[in-house]
Amino acid sequence: MQVLINSMFVLNMLYFTTTLVEGAVLIADKSVPKEVAEQAQCYAQLLALDQHVYIAISFSRDLPPGVDGYTRYQNTESYNEGHQIRIVINANINRAQQIRVLAHEMIHAKQFVEGRLVRCSTGHYSWERGVCTDTKHLPYYNRPWEKEAFKLGNQLYYTYTK
């Protein structure tokens, strides 16, 4: 895991790190229940995220009101390190909600990895290679990447819970 040193994903309390066969590398810190990390693995497999995708998952008790989770992305492919993704889930919501939020955030991870969603600067995103839009002017539920994440995230969640 030396590729992660010098990156935004240095976690000093690694709970466990796992590589799926031909799959994404998942790094869960101690705040993440094992059960949730296992669900993340399952989602990564269903989404066919490959070994060039590093996903660091953590839980937070300090997210702003109304925020259940978020996904940050850094493309370090030019350094041979692949795609690095940080997913943070709200620790204060119940487990079923957390698993559902995780599915939603994993769809964003896939959108970033595929280059369909690009963060241009703080609060500005480009979708499907379109112009960078200031999300201040685009209500949350009207953002195409959110519409997709809700639809496909729910499908992913139900595929898992079936």
Nearest distance from C-beta of residue 150 to Zn ion, angstroms: 7
Who's near 36: CB < 8 A, 6+ residues apart? 28, 57, 89, 95, 98, 99, 102
Dihedrals φ, ψ of 139, to 5°? -55, 145
- Confirm if 89 and 95 have CB atoms less than 8 A apart: no
Token pair, residue 92, equals 């204060």
Nearest distance from C-beta of residue 10 to Zn ion, angstroms: 25
In the bound state with Zn ion, the residue whose beta carbon lies nearer, of 28 and 105, is 105
d(CA 33, CA 135): 33
Nearest distance from C-beta of residue 100 to Zn ion, angstroms: 12
d(CA 74, CA 106): 15
Nearest distance from C-beta of residue 135 to Zn ion, angstroms: 11
> What residues make contact with Zn ion under the rule CB under 5 A?
146, 149
Nearest distance from C-beta of residue 155 to Zn ion, angstroms: 15
User: Closest residue (Cβ) to Zn ion?
Assistant: 149
Residue type, 32: V
In the bound state with Zn ion, the residue whose beta carbon lies nearer, of 26 and 149, is 149
- Confirm if 17 and 64 have CB atoms less than 8 A apart: no
- Confirm if 67 and 4 have CB atoms less than 8 A apart: no
In the bound state with Zn ion, the residue whose beta carbon lies nearer, of 4 and 86, is 86
In the bound state with Zn ion, the residue whose beta carbon lies nearer, of 22 and 64, is 64
Q: Any idea which residue has 């290679």 for tokens? A: 129
In the bound state with Zn ion, the residue whose beta carbon lies nearer, of 52 and 143, is 143
